[in-house]
Amino acid sequence: MELDIAGRTGLVTGASSGIGRAVALALGREGVRLVITARRADRLAELATDIQEAGGPAPTVLAQDFLAADAADRIASGALDALGAVQILVNNAGGSRPFTRHTGEAEWDEALTLNFTRHRQLTGRLLEPMVAGGWGRIVNITGKSEPEGINGAFSAKAALHAWAKGLSREVGTHGITVNSIPPGRIMSEQIERNYTPEYRAWQSEHEIPVGEYGRGEDIANLVCFLASPLARYITGTVIPVDGGLRRYQF
């Protein structure tokens, strides 16, 4: 299937590892001119090399702490300087924040900033060039809506879902779509750090209908489709990629 996104411009946050890395590599292979950003400059440099070796355009590397107060301004300015306009924005940066009912305000503020506020701010700074160009794709990598306890990231991702739905209704007439992808268990450094091989094997057998953890490419494939003109009539959605793990029906 020809996605027709070669030559488009894109920004992927949280691109140094895991899902973000897989998404950036897939978009690069499709010929998208990218800015890739995360905290770890060395990992971004390795990714830039991999994208070029896969036949993609050389990406611009932008090392930036997403929690810094001026992060959205710095990332937006760097992307616009490098690309002129960002046509495909993948809001991927974030991280789980397990809390208790006694967790303090500073921890909640950090979780909401990392997993919602910075995405909203960055999107706002990049939106007008999309409007002016009459075309844009915003894809948010979010999180599950089936929390087993209090987690700051789950609350922030729920806010991201609601914000994205509202934004999709505002910008659709300008040729811009806004969609969200909550991943299931996707293999990454974080997964390997947080879950033992024994638990992963048990969960794959007993809780995931397709019988295994996913790979970054499973998310990246959907991102590439949603970023393409073929997905012009898909907006305001939340599309889980989880191998059937979650039990809700929609």
pLDDT tens for 3-55 read 999 999 999 999 999 999 999 999 999 999 999 999 999 999 999 999 999 99
In total, how many domains does the chain have?
A: 1
- Confidence band (pLDDT; 50, 70, 90) for 247? confident
**Is 236 domain-assigned?**
no
Residue 11 to residues 37, 74, 82, 141, 236: CA-CA distances in angstroms?
Answer: 8, 13, 10, 13, 20
Written as six digits, the tokens of 21 are: 């890395």
* 195 in a structural domain: yes
d(CA 38, CA 15): 6
Query: Could you tell me the residue range of the domain that residue 131 belongs to?
Result: 9-231
Among 239, 241, 244, 240, residue whose Cα is nearest residue 204: 244
Q: What is the pLDDT of residues 66-97, one digit of tens each?
A: 999 999 999 999 999 999 999 999 999 988 89
> Is residue 250 scored above 70 in pLDDT?
no
pLDDT band at 106 (very low <50, low <70, confident <90, very high): very high
Separation of alpha carbons 240 and 220, rounded Å: 13
The CATH number that applies at residue 139 is 3.40.50.720
Q: What is the mean pLDDT of residues 234-243?
A: 97
Q: Does 240 fall in a domain?
A: no
Kindly list the strands in the beta sheet with 136-141, ordered across the sheet, starting from the edge strand earlier in the chain. Answer: 60-63, 33-38, 9-13, 88-91, 136-141, 176-181
| Residue that has been written with the tokens 């499973």 in this structure | 218
* Residue 244 neighbours by CB under 8 Å, 6+ apart: 208, 209, 210
